[in-house]
Amino acid sequence: MAARNRRRPLLQRCIGGETTRMAFRSILSACLAVALTSMTTAPASAQVGTEQPPVVEGAAKVRIDRITVHSDAIDGNLMGTSAERDVHVVLPPSYDQNPDRRYPVVYALHGYWVKAEQWLKEVHMPQTAEGAFANGVPEMILVFPDSWNEYNGSFYSDSPTTGDFEHFIADELIDYVDRNYRTIARPESRGLVGHSMGGYGASRIGIKHAEKYGALYLMAPCCQSPMGSRGLTAQDVQTIEAVPSVAAAQGLPGNLRSALAVAAAFSPDPDAAPLYLDLPVDAQGKEREDVIARWTANTPISFLDQHVDAVKAYRGIAIDVGDKDFLLDDVRLLHGALQAQGIDNTLDVYDGDHTNRLGFRMQEHVLPFFGRTLVQEPAQ
């Protein structure tokens, strides 16, 4: 019985029998379509309204370097997105006073619609880093790269249309930071965290490039399981197909722009000018199973089984999500998928929605997690 259960598809093992699985996936696909629409129809300024933790009195100040990093992996993408990427590097209070000391590094990935600058505001940086360090969290360097593009988010994918943001984060950015800052340049001293689309990026990169990192934290990660065609209609497709350029697509409603973002990331088509992507529905409203299969192949639950041994080597994997977050069910699926593969991880369902507690989570949970799991430089 146990051997037969191991051969069942991973989603089926996580959520039950075949009939239940099909019904659940149908419902979840619809929910994810609504969720992604919710992430994209609100103005960007609305996402900054996160609760601010109390200031820790006497906390030493950090320093933030705002730099630009060139990416060969992103250069030449079909969308024309700049390969010059903004990066914000948060240096701990002792960095300038102890020139011989090296530090662990945590890479923090932002969500859809916002840029890295706004992600810093959502997590109340630098106050939350200063507060965490003052409360005893071991000091570390924090790196916030910008992965925004003309469709409001790259989804951290490897695509000729968007450019290869996956390898920019997993390879080029690590190399740059290790060359230019006093890091402990070893996987066991390197962490990865992301929220929402950034949580998807952290799960995608963290699973596929597990050898690069020692610990992984996923904050309300989106897009973990198959999302179907996202509810696109024939009229939606016709509207998109009438768009003459990538630049003109920025005038589309948020739900259509988010569909373009996913398609550019997961179903690129270099022969399909001017947008260079394939949609999961045709102009008659019929679903395109080949495109949906490509989208499904990009979900972490679908490719997790190819990287189990590497993911098991993490020093820690933590997941959190608010109990009022529209992504709660999808996040629970990821937690279950990891458990089904025998991968240790924790899931914290807290009192909150998609964004309101981000500052508290960063100061009281995310940074302490990396302080416990990442290897510090031995005392001199």
**127: containing domain:** 1-42+61-375
The number of CA neighbours under 13 Å toward the Cβ of 133 is 21
Is residue 380 one of the residues assigned to a domain?
Answer: no
Structure confidence at residue 377 (pLDDT): 81
pLDDT in tens, 329-350: 999 999 999 999 999 999 999 9
d(CA 251, CA 246): 10
Which position has the higher pLDDT, 28 or 200? 200
Average pLDDT of the chain is 89
Whole-model pTM: value is 0.89
Is residue 50 one of the residues assigned to a domain?
Answer: no
In Å, what is the CA distance from 284 to each residue of 29, 242, 346?
A: 20, 14, 44
Calculate what percentage of the chain has a pLDDT beyond 70.
87
Which position has the higher pLDDT, 125 or 48? 125
Average of per-residue pLDDT across 84-94: 98
Query: Cβ–Cβ contacts within 10 Å for residue 292, how many?
Result: 20
Calculate what percentage of the chain has a pLDDT beyond 90.
84
Percentage helix, strand, coil for the chain under 3-state DSSP, each rounded to 5: 45, 15, 40
d(CA 263, CA 260): 5
Is residue 213 one of the residues assigned to a domain?
Answer: yes
Is residue 52 one of the residues assigned to a domain?
Answer: no
Structure confidence at residue 21 (pLDDT): 38
Is residue 169 one of the residues assigned to a domain?
Answer: yes
Give the torsion sign (CA, 258, 267, 226, 220): negative
pLDDT in tens, 129-164: 999 999 999 999 999 999 999 999 999 999 999 999
Structure confidence at residue 227 (pLDDT): 84
| CATH code (residue 32) | 3.40.50.1820
Lowest mean pLDDT among 12-16, 138-142, 202-206, 306-310: 12-16
Which position has the higher pLDDT, 17 or 275? 275
Is residue 49 one of the residues assigned to a domain?
Answer: no
Orientation angle between helical segments 254-266 and 289-297, nearest 10 degrees: 80
Tell me: pLDDT of 56 over 60: yes
Average of per-residue pLDDT across 59-84: 98
Alpha helices in the chain (DSSP H): 2-6, 10-15, 18-41, 116-122, 127-134, 165-167, 174-180, 197-208, 234-241, 246-249, 254-266, 289-297, 300-303, 308-312, 328-340, 358-361, 367-373
Contact 333, 225 (CB under 8 A): yes
Structure confidence at residue 229 (pLDDT): 85
Structure confidence at residue 256 (pLDDT): 95
Report the amino acid identity of residue 373.
T
pLDDT in tens, 276-325: 999 999 999 999 999 999 999 999 999 999 999 999 999 999 999 999 99
Structure confidence at residue 71 (pLDDT): 98
d(CA 111, CA 118): 10
Tell me: pLDDT of 366 over 80: yes
pLDDT in tens, 117-128: 999 999 999 999
Is residue 56 one of the residues assigned to a domain?
Answer: no
Q: How many domains does the chain have?
A: 1
Nearest to 233 by CA among 190, 296, 284: 284
Structure confidence at residue 13 (pLDDT): 35
d(CA 320, CA 351): 11
Structure confidence at residue 36 (pLDDT): 52
Structure confidence at residue 230 (pLDDT): 79
